[in-house]
């Protein structure tokens, strides 16, 4: 029902989920949910670049095409698959995923190699983000600019520099890191001093 087992569980093959395997007289593979995997053999070619194994916390917010484009773009910046995997998880969180998230990226010899031009392009994008966050923080002379305001402003801007397939969400963690560095939370003592100075002036 609604493309789910009993209208609830999204997968038909799983370990666990015992409430779907409680029919007496039926074997493990005859229950609503089976532990027996569906296996397909697919002949590879030299042009294959990578394969992604991920759970629905990823696919709930990413299409095959977008994730492929994003991973391809990151492989031109770094060959660190752990870093790329973590970046994917951060991006999916920023896109609103609330399900379990697991991802494995297996790279083949045909995968893109690091290109210095792409590394510099990514570095330039990060510097542009830092300058923009600083600009937004300094634009309000009357009080502290909240992170949500910075995020909303940048999300509404069109940036060609954002990674393909990821867009603004691919850099949200970086935006937050830069914001926290440039505008650290103030203590209550600081607030009192600043308020006093404001009224004195």
pLDDT surpasses 80 at 100: yes
What average pLDDT does the segment 103-127 reach?
A: 97
> Residue 128: what pLDDT?
97
Where in the chain are the domains? 1-36, 50-107, 116-191
**How sure is the predictor about 63, in pLDDT bands with cuts at 50, 70 and 90?**
very high
Mean of per-residue pLDDT scores for the chain: 90
How many helices (DSSP H) and strands (DSSP E) are in the chain? Answer: 7, 2
Domain at 116-191, CATH from 1.10.1740.10, 1.20.950.20, 3.30.300.30, 1.10.10.430:
1.10.10.430
Q: Which phi and psi (to 5°) does residue 93 adopt?
A: -60, -45
What is the rounded distance in angstroms from the CA atom of residue 109 to the CA atom of residue 8? 40
> Is pTM beyond 0.85 here?
no
**How sure is the predictor about 187, in pLDDT bands with cuts at 50, 70 and 90?**
low
CB 101 within 8 A of CB 52: no
What is the rounded distance in angstroms from the CA atom of residue 60 to the CA atom of residue 126? 27
Residues in contact with 49: Cβ distance below 8 Å, sequence separation at least 6, in sequence order: 72, 75, 107, 108, 110, 111, 112
What average pLDDT does the segment 181-201 reach?
A: 50
- HEC string of 76-109 equals CCCCCHHHHHHHHHHHHHHCCCCCCCCEEEEECC
């Amino acid at each position: 029902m609604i493309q789910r087992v009993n209208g609830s569980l999204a997968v038909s093959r799983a370990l666990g989920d015992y409430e779907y395997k409680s029919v007496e007289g039926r074997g493990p593979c005859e229950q609503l949910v089976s532990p027996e995997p569906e296996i397909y053999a697919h002949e590879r070619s030299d042009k294959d670049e990578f394969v992604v194994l991920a759970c629905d916390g990823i696919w709930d917010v990413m299409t095959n095409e977008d994730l492929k484009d994003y991973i391809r773009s990151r492989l031109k910046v770094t060959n660190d698959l752990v870093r790329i995997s973590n970046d994917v998880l951060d991006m999916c969180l920023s896109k609103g995923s609330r399900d379990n998230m697991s991802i494995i990226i297996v790279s083949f010899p045909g995968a893109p190699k690091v290109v210095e031009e792409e590394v510099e392009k990514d570095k330039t994008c990060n510097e542009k983000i830092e300058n923009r966050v600083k600009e937004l923080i300094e634009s309000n002379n009357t009080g502290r600019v909240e992170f949500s305001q910075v995020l909303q402003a940048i999300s509404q801007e069109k940036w060609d520099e954002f990674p393909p397939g990821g867009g603004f969400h691919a850099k949200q963690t970086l935006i937050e890191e830069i914001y926290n560095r440039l505008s650290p939370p103030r203590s209550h003592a600081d607030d009192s001093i600043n308020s006093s100075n404001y009224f004195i002036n």
